[in-house]
Amino acid sequence: MRDVRMRGFREQTTVERALEVLEQRIRRLGDEPVPIARAAGRVTAERVLARASVPHFARAAMDGYALAGEATSGAAAGAPVELALVGASFPGRPHAGALLLGEAVRITTGAPVPVGADAVLMAEHAEEAAGPDGAAVLRVRAPVPAGKHVAPIGEDVIEGAEVVPAGRRLRPQDVGVLASTGVAEVRAVRRPSVRILITGDELLPPGSAPGGACIVDANSLVLSALARRDGVEDVEVAYVPDRREAVRSALAAAGEDVVLVSGGSSVGPEDHAPLVLAELGEVAVHGVAMRPAKPAGFGFLAGERPVFLLPGNPVSCLCAYEFFAGPSIRALGGLPRAWPHRRRRCVVAREIASLPGRVDYVRVRVEGDRVFPIATSGASILSSTTRADGVVIVRAEDAAVGEGAEVEVLLYDA
Amino acid sequence: MRDVRMRGFREQTTVERALEVLEQRIRRLGDEPVPIARAAGRVTAERVLARASVPHFARAAMDGYALAGEATSGAAAGAPVELALVGASFPGRPHAGALLLGEAVRITTGAPVPVGADAVLMAEHAEEAAGPDGAAVLRVRAPVPAGKHVAPIGEDVIEGAEVVPAGRRLRPQDVGVLASTGVAEVRAVRRPSVRILITGDELLPPGSAPGGACIVDANSLVLSALARRDGVEDVEVAYVPDRREAVRSALAAAGEDVVLVSGGSSVGPEDHAPLVLAELGEVAVHGVAMRPAKPAGFGFLAGERPVFLLPGNPVSCLCAYEFFAGPSIRALGGLPRAWPHRRRRCVVAREIASLPGRVDYVRVRVEGDRVFPIATSGASILSSTTRADGVVIVRAEDAAVGEGAEVEVLLYDA
């Protein structure tokens, strides 16, 4: 491990190469059982099969009367067929027993169609009356074929069929269907746990008033919210003094799946994080050909738990998270590595400055389908990201992007 | 209130008209204070101003040496200027006291620039040495102008300036900037609370195995997940028997901002919800010219708390939520009414059937940029929505959408 402190980065890794390393090293986490009532939004670790058919009985697909279609043959408005009305079948309260050929029961949508019935006649094609002996009869004024308005067993889902594939982030309707088929829990990919180590003696926790030589930490809030966006539930934040032993203890004690270290990653005398990571594990990348976030890096503890070295400058921190930590956290949780932002094609209305050989993360405003770079690009100007509508990534092979060029904007608003 | 039970809907409200009613009647909820650490994703009720400038002191924008630029005038590699190295300024641990003209201190990025200094010289343009008297000196090999690598007070944000406007759904970086400026809490729009009443004697809670005449309720899970997507945190689910008094008690007891009633909204003898709502409050719309979800409706309790009557058929329930409840819940919480789905323009690869005079919610598969309607369109076939990639809305004025037409697909995946 070369000590780059106070000397600057002699070499920088390309963004492309850094992402290749993460692609090779970061694998999906294991899985865990999740009750179906809490499974929305989770990613399935294996395909899920229906435990029962839906419906598991023949059910009425219409309000009306259940009967044997055969018994209505020849019925017409002028020549109604009379059936004995012998009961009713409601959802959850079915008619007890089987129907004979000349019998009918009232039925409502979703109720079991009794044995002996094979069709549902719509209410408007019949009327109820009292027969000569006072018993209820149904006057049927139109024939109905067998099978009409009856949903057969398994019409929606057949027992044993695949309801959702492996790797599906469960949508609202997916958990509904799974519950319908009697699935009580699914195997879901574990969601990565994240520890955020905020280094910097000058930092006060959010909610404080800045004062003296102390400023208020923004990165813990930004990183927590980004991690939650990327599927993380458990986020721990710890503040760590700018002393090597303190950084070392904090990193050694972190048992989470992912560690995000904010600050102390650059080349100043107080930048302990890269050296400490090299001692405790491995630094894979440190110094990336990009702007902002050149001092970004990452490595691994115990060969597999990633530690991301994020510059303390707030825009660099956001940028380094988006390029390296975000895709990795999503991949650990079984989500796509791609940036989750909505995308929009726009035309460059004012030249976007860049230099070949580095990737630029350029905050932009969007007006209609025109895009303007935000004037200030200082890595410390976090307010540039609140004024921006999104970001344009300028590739390493490109120099400035000229007025009139078409670019893709990654929008900040969800 | 006309009792439509067992007689069908004589008239149907258009989707357009139903949405107009909601547009007029549904207003944003009030606001509440939210600590900045929990404010990500919340919607601001008013613009938020910076409580302090960022930075609130002149800070180093580079690692190096703080000094008066004037003192480096004429410095060159062959003719270094020697300054007295009198200390160091680190973030949170500033140099005590002011600098004289011939003095310099080590400084790291973000540290306060001492009084008397007005520039930061990059480390590579100087070297430290011991002077003839043993005191530390700095040999400066390049001049640096006043102001160089110094971020002035307020460079990022000026005290009192607007950081975010009213109505902003706070992004990760927004809460970071707000915290930096000393904001401890924001006034955020209240998130609507939702009660879901699941009616149906045949329904077992999710996690159960279907059996006998009983099926497993899917709608509570689908509706809960949709409401959470739309910004709701508090969701209560209650199961209500198919008896008028039970439905009445459950509706009367609901104190939430929004009530979603699943089932019992149609024209069967067990469909008590519309009548009960008319007794306890007001039914504004019941029966909509759409497919599925024709029996959908809504009304209000106490003149302002919306109650949505959602058909029990799972696809109809999903569809009615998306058309009526979703936009209303978002509007209550200060979010845009528009559907939140990602959109994509596709070409119809197989005719989409519809009829003029009704709006159709058509589940579709997407292959490349081609879109296929899912064959089965039964309102009870919830699995059609798990097989679908999204939905195409066919407007009331359109009949079938022919092969080759371009349509917008609302994608189910976030």
Report chain B (414 residues): mean pLDDT per 10 consecutive residues.
56 95 97 98 98 96 94 95 96 93 93 96 94 92 96 95 97 97 98 97 96 96 98 97 95 97 82 95 96 95 96 94 98 97 96 93 96 78 91 93 96 90
A36 touches chain B (CB under 8 A): yes
Which of B111, B172, B211 lies closest to A222 in CB terms? B172
**From B63, B214, B382, residue closest to A6, measured CB to CB:** B63
Contact B202 A91 (CB under 8 A): yes
Q: Does B23 touch chain A (CB under 8 A)?
A: no
Q: How far off is chain B from A156, nearest CA to CA, in Å?
A: 5
Q: Report the predicted TM-score, pTM, of the whole model to 2 decimal places.
A: 0.93
- Measured between alpha carbons, how far is A255 from B210 in angstroms, rounded to an integer? 42
Q: For residue A201, give the chain B residue with the closest CA.
A: B92
Distance CA B211, CA B351 (A): 39
In chain A, residues with a C-beta closer than 8 Å to the C-beta of B224 are 40, 172
Residue B402 burial class via C-beta count within 10 angstroms: exposed 0-12, middle 13-18, buried 19 and up: exposed
Whether the CB of A123 is below 8 Å from some CB of chain B: the reply is yes
CA distance B296 to chain A (A): 15
Q: What confidence score (pLDDT) does residue A1 get? A: 46
CB A43 within 8 A of CB A170: yes
Q: Which two tokens stand for residue A88?
A: 């009713």
Element (H, E) at A386: helix A383-387
CB atoms within 10 A of CB A396: 16
With an 8 Å Cβ cutoff, are B209 and A51 in contact? Answer: yes
pLDDT at residue B1, rounded to an integer? 47
What phi-psi label fits residue B57: left (phi over 0), alpha (psi between -120 and 50 degrees) or beta?
A: beta
Q: How far is A303 from chain B (nearest CA, A)?
A: 30
> Which residues 208-227 of chain A have a CB within 8 Å of chain B?
208-211, 213-219, 221-226
Distances (CA, A) of B19 to B13, B73, B297, B326, B338: 10, 71, 11, 11, 11
Nearest to A269 among B108, B174, B181 (CB): B108
Q: What pLDDT is stored for residue B333 in this prediction?
A: 98
ipTM over 0.90: yes
A136-140 sheet: strands from edge to edge: A119-122, A64-67, A103-107, A81-89, A136-140, A126-130
- HSE-up of residue B86 (Cα within 13 Å, Cβ side): 18
Which positions in chain B touch A214 (Cβ < 8 Å)? 92
| pLDDT mean values, one per 10 residues, chain A (414 residues) | 56 95 97 98 98 96 94 95 96 93 93 96 94 92 96 95 97 97 98 97 96 96 98 97 95 97 82 95 96 95 96 94 98 97 96 93 95 78 91 94 96 90
Q: How confident is the model at residue A5, as a pLDDT? A: 52
The distance of B336 to chain A (nearest Cα, Å) reads: 12
Tell if the CB–CB gap between A157 and B383 is shorter than 8 Å. Answer: yes
pLDDT of residue A378: 67
Q: What pLDDT, on a 0 to 100 scale, did the predictor assign at position A326?
A: 98
The number of C-beta contacts closer than 8 angstroms across A and B is 305
pLDDT for res A382: 86
